[in-house]
Structures are given as structure tokens and as C-alpha cells.
């Protein structure tokens, strides 16, 4: 793949991640608190918001790993229950949330 094609794909991916964060974020947040889902579940379960984040993130990484394990020659097989692209986008979205959580903690 040439750099130009890669840069186009990267830009498209960033746009999809941003759309996912915007669309799904509204479903999971309370009021304007982006982290409310992590915080309320952490409080309910006696864990930290970072531990809750880790549980959610692991779900996405495990599904990516399983797709590769089960279809090593074509993990993006359209017959999968969820396309690999969506799993990747969700994982990046969760990494973005972690980045924001860490930055909030350090300020």
C-alpha cells in the first residue's frame, strides 16, 4: 500500500471513530459526563472507572483476536457476526476514551 492510499484510509478511519464516539457516547453518558457509564458501573461494582474501562475494552480486543484466530487468512470475512472494521473502530474509540480519562486525572 502506498502512503497516499494509507493516508486516505487513516483519515476515513478517524472520521468513523469520531462518528462512533459521538453517536454511542450520547447513549452511554448521563448529562454531559462522558465518563458517567464507567463511573456509575464502577461505583455499583466497587471497582475503579479504569477497571470498568478495561473490561469493556477487553471485549473488543478479544473479538478482534478471535476473528484473526478463526480466519487467519481473512479476518475481515463478511460472514462474521460483526464486521472486523466495526470492532477496530470500537477499540480505537475506547482507547480515545482512556486517553481522555487519563488526561482528566492528570489535570
Rounded Cα distance, 47 and 27, in Å: 22
C-alpha grid cell, residue 84: 472486523
Q: In the chain, where are the structural domains located?
A: 3-105
Burial class, 52, CB count within 10 angstroms (exposed 0-12 / middle 13-18 / buried 19+) = buried
pLDDT digits (tens, 9 = 90+) for 26-81: 666 667 788 999 999 999 999 999 999 999 999 999 999 998 998 888 888 777 67
Question: pLDDT tens digits for 29-44?
Answer: 667 788 999 999 999 9
The answer, yes or no, to whether residue 107 has pLDDT greater than 70, is no
Q: What percent of the chain has pLDDT over 90?
A: 65
Q: Which residue has the cell 450520547?
A: 26
Q: How far apart are CA 2 and CA 105, in angstroms?
A: 39
Amino acid at each position: 500500500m502506498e502512503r497516499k492510499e494509507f493516508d486516505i484510509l487513516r483519515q476515513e478511519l478517524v472520521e468513523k471513530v469520531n462518528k462512533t464516539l459521538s453517536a454511542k457516547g450520547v447513549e452511554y453518558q448521563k448529562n454531559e459526563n462522558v465518563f458517567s457509564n464507567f463511573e456509575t458501573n464502577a461505583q455499583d461494582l466497587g471497582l475503579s472507572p479504569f477497571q470498568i474501562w478495561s473490561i469493556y475494552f477487553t471485549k473488543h480486543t478479544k473479538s478482534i483476536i478471535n476473528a484473526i484466530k478463526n480466519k487467519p487468512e481473512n479476518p475481515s470475512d463478511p460472514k462474521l457476526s460483526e464486521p472486523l472494521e466495526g470492532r477496530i473502530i470500537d477499540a480505537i474509540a475506547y482507547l480515545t476514551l482512556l486517553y481522555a480519562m487519563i488526561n482528566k486525572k492528570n489535570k
